[in-house]
């Protein structure tokens, strides 16, 4: 697609996130040589049940029309955005609805033989780009904790002492991860709210200014 778009002028470097009153649009290189680009648009749409979302994902014509409606017929979007909307074959479009997951208070079994990490503990909405980062952080910090617990050769001789040591360290790890994930979840939620377009002109202008200054 990039070669077809070479003639399209744009004044921004990629990756670029664009915010406007009909949605947000992100364009990024999709190959290491940057001769291919990809994009995604975040749209607020009416909620539906699971089947409704699946049906929307299969209805490529409706997805194309949703895209055109927001980025061709509404607002004043850069030429690269309108060209992408016009040239993308409907079959290449995918819908990716967000689902929230129930809060899970315990991430480990009672004696720490089963420990959950990553999305299994708390799937984080993609609006902050932090889900994989948190899964990796969970894994890395857990490795430090387990290495510390099992490094003590004396404790290994007494299984109950080893278990106590494991419980002590895991409780501290658990507290640390809960606090960290809560903070990231809060950031992600605020980010998602900021990305939503506002029906009020001044509120939208304030949001766009806030995003502009933040970046
Ligand atoms: C649209 C979107 C955009 C995102 N953007 C970002 C971003 O920019 N930055 C970021 O950091 N994160 C992002 N994320 C979030 C990120 O993808 C996840 O947080 C991350 O993949 C979680 O990793 P995980 O290993 O915990 O789970 P997963 O990646 O879901 O891995 C779980 C694996 O377990 C397998 N599995 C499930 N059940 C079974 C079973 N019974 N037996 C065997 N295998 C099983 C699954 O097939 C899967 O491969 C995004 C997510 C989405 C949906």
Residue 52's CB: how many other CB atoms inside 10 A?
Answer: 12
Residues 6+ away with beta carbon under 8 Å from 95: 53, 56, 57, 63
Query: What is the 164 CA–ligand 1 centroid distance (Å)?
Result: 32
What average pLDDT does range 141-168 have in this prediction? 86
> pLDDT over 70 for what percent of the chain?
94
Q: In this predicted model, what pLDDT tens digit does every residue of 30-49 receive, in sequence order?
A: 888 878 889 999 888 899 99
Contact 115, 93 (CB under 8 A): no
Q: Return the pLDDT at 147.
A: 93
The C-alpha atoms of residue 38 and residue 84 are separated, in whole angstroms, by 9
pTM over 0.85: no
Q: 133 in ligand 1 pocket by Cβ < 6 Å? A: yes
Query: What is the 73 CA–ligand 1 centroid distance (Å)?
Result: 35
User: Where do the domains of the chain lie?
Assistant: 2-97, 99-215
Phi, then psi, of 156 in degrees rounded to 5: -60, -30
Probe target for ligand 1 pocket from 135, 138, 139, 187, with the most ligand atoms within 8 Å of CB: 135
What is the position in ligand 1's atom list of the atom closest to the CA of 132?
Answer: 11
Q: In this predicted model, what pLDDT tens digit does every residue of 191-215 receive, in sequence order?
A: 777 777 777 777 777 777 777 787 7
Run of H or E including 186: helix 159-195
Angle between helical axes of 159-195 and 201-214 (0-180°, round to 10): 130
């Amino acid at each position: 697609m990039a070669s077809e778009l070479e003639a399209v002028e744009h004044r921004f470097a990629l990756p670029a996130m664009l915010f406007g009153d009909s949605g947000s649009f992100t364009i990024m290189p999709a190959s290491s040589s940057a001769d291919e680009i990809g994009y995604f648009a975040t749209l607020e749409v009416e909620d539906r049940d699971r089947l409704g979302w699946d049906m929307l994902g299969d209805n490529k014509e409706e997805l194309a029309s949703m895209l055109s409606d927001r980025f061709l017929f509404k607002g004043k979007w850069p030429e690269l955005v309108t060209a992408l909307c016009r040239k993308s074959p409907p079959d290449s479009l995918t819908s990716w609805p967000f689902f929230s997951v129930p809060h899970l208070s315990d991430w480990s079994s009672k004696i720490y033989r089963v420990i959950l990490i990553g999305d299994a503990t708390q799937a984080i909405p993609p609006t902050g780009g932090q889900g994989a980062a948190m899964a990796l952080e969970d894994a890395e910090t857990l490795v430090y904790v387990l290495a510390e617990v099992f490094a003590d050769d004396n404790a290994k001789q007494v299984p109950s002492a080893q278990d106590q040591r494991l419980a002590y360290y895991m409780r501290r790890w658990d507290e640390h991860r809960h606090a960290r994930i809560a903070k990231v979840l809060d950031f992600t939620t605020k980010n998602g709210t900021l990305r939503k377009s506002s029906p009020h002109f001044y509120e939208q202008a304030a949001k766009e200014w806030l995003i502009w200054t933040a970046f």
